[in-house]
Structure 1
């Protein structure tokens, strides 16, 4: 009675499938999918949104079952790895030809003295059908996740060999993105959003814009019921510092995000990893319901329990990239009995199979015998079936997707009114750029509002820095000493605005994998994320700029009155904008926070060094002058100097003050007056104690600030910010493909 056969429920017989007599184009169907209505049935009940989408008038006779078969043949994937030299290094490893061993490599072209080619997938073939769960099993390093990535098109083009077809037609990358979803192994979620909010934002991204807000909310509520998350709907996701939902609930939320649009194909990388047996069973039970709704579900799993095995329809066992079994769980006893290793009656079949595979991997012959036996087994099974292809009801892929959408599959972008060409059957994105920006901005504001301590810490840092500078440079006068102290204040104030922007570095690094997951399957455009990110930071930058400006301007005694203050505020804001954009760009190219902080501190130090404060432009060597013009600190520093010293009527050095910064500064005033008289006689110009000797223009000339006006310096600083935002977009465009090489 312990056999698994009793746990398997046969699928109910389906009526024969007949293709539609007159099939509308897929574009026509897609344009009507968004017109969802909840109509009363004959008994007065209502049809939930997740069960069906009513179309307008079409000539398509919707069948009860739309068959989908995803087939893959001879998938092979290899990577180059560094050789591990052993003494003597020129001798090959004795185990290099042992199939299934850890050192297994296939000598493919491209090897060198320092690299070798390791085959991660080797001629993997199989198929997955709608209504079923295909599970890929194997020990760690067997190639489970690699196979899932290969099927989900997460391996760079040209690196993967073999064919993938859906209903016999080659499955192109763009089409796969639209009709499928991929659930990562890690639960990448915003910690301060509730379960309901997380799924609602996913609905805003993935469901067509023609669906009203209320209908999207109905879809979310139905999905919450389907996932068994009703009791946790109002609970935040949580993280290390905030208590939230359980691990199993987090995993079901992750699945819900990617099935909100009811994809035709669902890929999952070890969805039960890290869960207890009960939570793992509930997750797979949810996946079974998703499959029975007409989806193809393909998942990797390390070692399923007895109860989970009863929910699986097809299995593929891998060993070091080779297939050692492919078929139904019910055939495992016969398979291993024919192989000469019968499964004991009361033992978990998958545990036995995995233990045997590990034992063979450690043997001198490896798993070669089991691989060859599987090939013979598959050939025999194929010959018994007559080599016939599975019945697909005579539908082409386009017709099958059309019929599937008409049944209620909420394919992303289904209501885009653009014409759909034969080469591009479905729109890429569900919403236009402005809607994506609005949803992204709303989510960012909501997440930030629930973590006010982050902005509070940044505001506190700016206020404390401003207070220290204000007290250190309190009410500077117009003496030569006051001029020097002003220069120092401006240099440190401008560099401070850039250094305090370094806290923006972890923001995208923390969101990076969420961003990669969402954009991998076209939840929104990268350009929408960059534009939204730039808009979201503006309010906080304005507030920080106002706080810093108000703290320092009048306390230091800067010149210009209200107009001077307004420009001072604008240049502080521009500095924050440029610094934030610079750090945001770095967050798109550095791999982790500590490296990013190191780079930020080093580069900003160079910016300050070449800004013109420590060494004037005229004294910078020609081979370093380019760094002077690339310095982000240079332009705001020059702008505040121009703002302070632009008044030609203001004098900073009069008469005897000329001696204050020289060794004669301590001599009696009478002697200074005598020296002035001697200087007057020599120069032929009368110089008295009230004669203005240095104006603001003279100070600017001494500092080498003659190229740009203060407004031009402001615009250059703002332009730097936009340039780094563009570079951030480029880094996302080429650096976040989330594909294996």
Structure 2
């Protein structure tokens, strides 16, 4: 057996002070992002040894989540919200309900100015299909979302990645202003330009998970000069340092000598600085947080608390659950309303499918052939409601990634997201269901009148609900869209196969019968069949129609009549051309639909929808807590 354990970080220590902008540098694979994740408590405890302290006291995970923020490398934003709306929704989440709407707006406007986004405030974020703000502006919006509540500590994973030099400079300039406002700002950065170097207060160079320099940019020339590799004049100091580190990494001795020299140099520097350090006031963690709050930091509902535990000073969430649901619903509706093509495509797919079904199965009669055609119509119609839900998969996946970012640091509760997500989906499902039901019910000639239509509509709605919930659940499991589509198509095909249309329940092999009961198509299919055939006075096969689905269908009617008389004499029963031989109940029995009533089938379909929503919640719960190992 080979051990899969690998040390990504080793023997790293350092300090970051409020008011300082600290950068972690190194080549790709040096451990920059891993260190940021370790400091931000995004690595599983069993995989990490060491401590992170604030004012000399070890930080609890819950407290760190509340007083800090983490800006991911990718900009995960709703594309059709403006910059101002995006920050305003963030303010609604992160700022307490006790803060008035006007004060929240003032905070957003001040932040827009702080981020240098005034000219882009009314511009939508945009995506591949919609023109929006620039890459640098998107990055600053991402930062703004996470600093709306003015956190005490801010972590950023390569905030300048993918930006041109001007945009990168503006982003780091914003981070410098945030640090100067009294926050601790720690970021990873790949290779800063000369201009960016002047904005940094402290630098930590890593090589294969070990520190090779820790100090201010001003001390960098002296450090490498003492190491025996002076930095040439007019050369970028960070580029020289990174190039030298790369050269040492591929040399026989690696960077071991540089690591040891850094330790000795740091010890020498500490001994030289003894007596010159700025004296600390020895504040406890609780006192330090209180001092930060009094200076305007951490606007998240924190207040005075006489307890000794710093964690009790700040609430886990800034707002109650109902408030979170209102804001989440409003944001989702606003974003969706500006992309009407998404709903338009779904509606068009449903209406076109309904129109095709209505014209293919137009005005079915009550003959044996009409019975078979009804069975085919119901099987296809019920499965269609599930397939048309699959086009929402990309939207659900996009929302999932945004959710992961926002809930990682307690912007809102997972349950609030689940409930608002479900409630917002219902109006669209009602509209789609009604459109499909109206197009198909009377055109196909289904039975039951108004009451039959109402039940048919509810079954369609329940099917859309279950299908939407199933796709929502998959969006919490699959990593990307194409895999999601593949799984949806495959599983729905299996659902249709085992629904009872192609093979009845009593003919399904025992080792597959479990899939019959798991099939989402089974229950709405059986519900609409019972709605159609559960009329005790309606007859579907009379007299000579019994021969219609046999080779005798082509013989003359007089021959059929004589055959019918012969059968009557043999059975001792009077069978005429008007005698009803097959009722709706007989058809249901032939299809094996005897265990659940139509209302039971409806409620089971609805229950499947709730079941998949609950599974989706646990996927979100597991995914948001899934840390690096």
Same fold by TM (over 0.5)? yes
Deviations 1:244-300 (A, max 9, x none): 111111111111111000000001111112222222111111111111111000011
Q: Please state whether the residue corresponding to 2:133 is helix, strand or coil.
A: coil
Structure 1 residue corresponding to 2:223, chosen from 335, 339, 359? 335
Q: Please state whether the residue corresponding to 2:211 is helix, strand or coil.
A: strand
User: Tell me, which stretches of 5 or more residues in structure 2 are unaligned?
Assistant: none
Partner of 1:307: 195
- Give, in angstroms, the shift of residue 330 of structure 1: 1.1
Q: Please state whether the residue corresponding to 1:294 is helix, strand or coil.
A: coil
CA distance in 2: counterparts of 1:375 and 1:691, whole angstroms = 101
Distance change >3 Å, CA 312–CA 422, structure 1 → 2: closer
- Give, in angstroms, the shift of residue 426 of structure 1: 2.1
Q: Are 1:118 and 2:29 counterparts?
A: no
Deviations 1:418-454 (A, max 9, x none): 9996664421111111111111111111111111111
Partner of 2:546: 658
Partner of 1:282: 170
CA distance in 2: counterparts of 1:505 and 1:156, whole angstroms = 30
CA distance in 2: counterparts of 1:738 and 1:276, whole angstroms = 33
Partner of 2:608: 720
- Give, in angstroms, the shift of residue 411 of structure 1: 3.8
Higher helix share: 2
Q: Are 1:180 and 2:54 counterparts?
A: no
Counterpart mapping for 1:496-511 below 5 A: 496-511=384-399
- Contact 1:498/1:604, CA 8 A, preserved across alignment: yes
- Give, in angstroms, the shift of residue 410 of structure 1: 3.1
Partner of 1:602: 490
CA distance in 2: counterparts of 1:419 and 1:463, whole angstroms = 62
Q: Please state whether the residue corresponding to 2:302 is helix, strand or coil.
A: coil
Q: Are 1:167 and 2:55 counterparts?
A: yes
Partner of 2:157: 269
Partner of 2:98: 210
Structure 1 residue corresponding to 2:564, chosen from 676, 681, 684? 676
- Contact 2:433/2:457, CA 8 A, preserved across alignment: yes
- Contact 1:137/1:316, CA 8 A, preserved across alignment: yes
Q: Are 1:614 and 2:520 counterparts?
A: no
Deviations 1:680-705 (A, max 9, x none): 22222211111111111111111111
Structure 1 residue corresponding to 2:331, chosen from 443, 453, 458? 443
Moved over 3 A (4+): 385-392, 415-425
Distance change >3 Å, CA 372–CA 638, structure 1 → 2: same
Partner of 2:596: 708
Q: Are 1:466 and 2:354 counterparts?
A: yes
- Contact 1:420/1:426, CA 8 A, preserved across alignment: no
CA distance in 1: counterparts of 2:219 and 2:96, whole angstroms = 43
Deviations 1:64-107 (A, max 9, x none): xxxxxxxxxxxxxxxxxxxxxxxxxxxxxxxxxxxxxxxxxxxx
- Contact 2:286/2:308, CA 8 A, preserved across alignment: no
CA distance in 2: counterparts of 1:387 and 1:646, whole angstroms = 93
Partner of 1:432: 320
Partner of 1:140: 28
Q: Let me know the Cα RMSD of the aligned residues.
A: 1.7
Deviations 1:437-475 (A, max 9, x none): 111111111111111111111111111111111111110
- Contact 2:541/2:581, CA 8 A, preserved across alignment: yes
Q: Are 1:452 and 2:340 counterparts?
A: yes
Q: Are 1:513 and 2:401 counterparts?
A: yes
TM-score w.r.t. length of structure 2: 0.97
Q: Are 1:585 and 2:464 counterparts?
A: no
CA distance in 2: counterparts of 1:418 and 1:488, whole angstroms = 71
Distance change >3 Å, CA 518–CA 565, structure 1 → 2: same
Distance change >3 Å, CA 659–CA 428, structure 1 → 2: same
Aligned length: 629
